[in-house]
Structures are given as C-alpha cells and as structure tokens.
C-alpha cells in the first residue's frame, strides 16, 4: 500500500467513525417519553389523523420521526409513541391533519446510534 493509499484509508475510516458519533437529527428520539407534554397535548387537540388525505386538503408536506432503543434499561419505542411524534411534527409545521401513516421497524443503525428503531412517516396538511 502506498503512502497516498494509507492516507486515504485513514481519512475514510475517520470520516465513518465521526459520522457514527455525530448527533442524530432532531426528529430522532429515544424510548417512549414525549418531547414535551404541552406540545403533545396541543397536538392531540389540534391535529386529526385520517386514513387518506381528505378532499380540499392544502399545503401537503412530509413529516417523519425515528424512535431509538439504545439502552437495555430503557423501554423500547412503541408505535403509539411514534404516532404521537408525527402529530407533534405536524403541529410544528402548522398543520392540522396527518394521513398515510407508515411505521416500520429498523435494525441496528450506527448513524442514529440505535440498537433497534421505529421509523414513522406521514403526510401532513391543512384542512378547513
């Protein structure tokens, strides 16, 4: 291996390690605790869950959240918690409805520092 190849290999390894230690996006949370009880209460009162986007809905955007399980002593995330997070995310974007919710289980993720995770996605929108 040449000196240049060695330097490239070290740089690539350092980049991968740094990415694994970087802070996750703000929508990645651990366990089952709500982000804010006040925000969750307001979201549940303001944002309605629909199966499909209703006729007349406007300003449709994507919302997503990830709940991680990182520690043996902490509870695993639940689908209810992920659904609540989607409501809070929609409220944060000034939307009053979400639909087309999908929640999928993820596996080990070095980028989010999760042993396992639940990934939630939905369409958020405004209705009259």
Of 29, 25, 39, 56, nearest in space to 125 by CA: 56
HEC profile of 23-85: CCCCCEEECCCCCCHHHHHHHHHHCEECCCCCCCCEEEEEEEEEEEECCCCCCCCCHHHHHHH
54-96 residue pLDDT tens: 999 999 999 999 888 888 888 888 999 999 999 999 999 999 9
16-50 residue pLDDT tens: 444 444 444 455 666 666 678 899 999 999 999 99
Q: pLDDT at position 113, please?
A: 76
What gap in Å lies between CA 124 and CA 25, rounded to an integer? 19
Indicate the fold that domain 23-126 takes in CATH. Translation Initiation Factor IF3 (3.30.110)
Q: What is the pTM of this model?
A: 0.74
Of 45, 51, 64, nearest in space to 120 by CA: 64
In the chain, where the domains are located: 23-126
């Amino acid at each position: 291996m040449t000196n240049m190849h060695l330097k490239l290999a070290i740089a690539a390894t350092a980049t991968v390690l740094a990415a694994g230690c970087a802070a996750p996006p703000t929508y990645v949370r651990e366990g089952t605790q709500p982000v804010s009880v006040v925000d969750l209460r307001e979201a549940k009162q303001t944002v309605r869950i629909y199966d499909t986007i209703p006729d007349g809905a406007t300003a449709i955007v994507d919302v997503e959240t990830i709940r991680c399980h990182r520690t043996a002593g902490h509870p695993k995330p639940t689908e209810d918690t992920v659904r609540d997070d989607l409501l809070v995310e929609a409220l944060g974007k000034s939307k009053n409805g979400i639909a087309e919710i999908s929640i999928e289980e993820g596996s080990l993720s070095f980028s989010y520092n999760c042993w396992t995770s639940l990934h939630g996605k939905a369409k958020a929108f405004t209705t009259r």
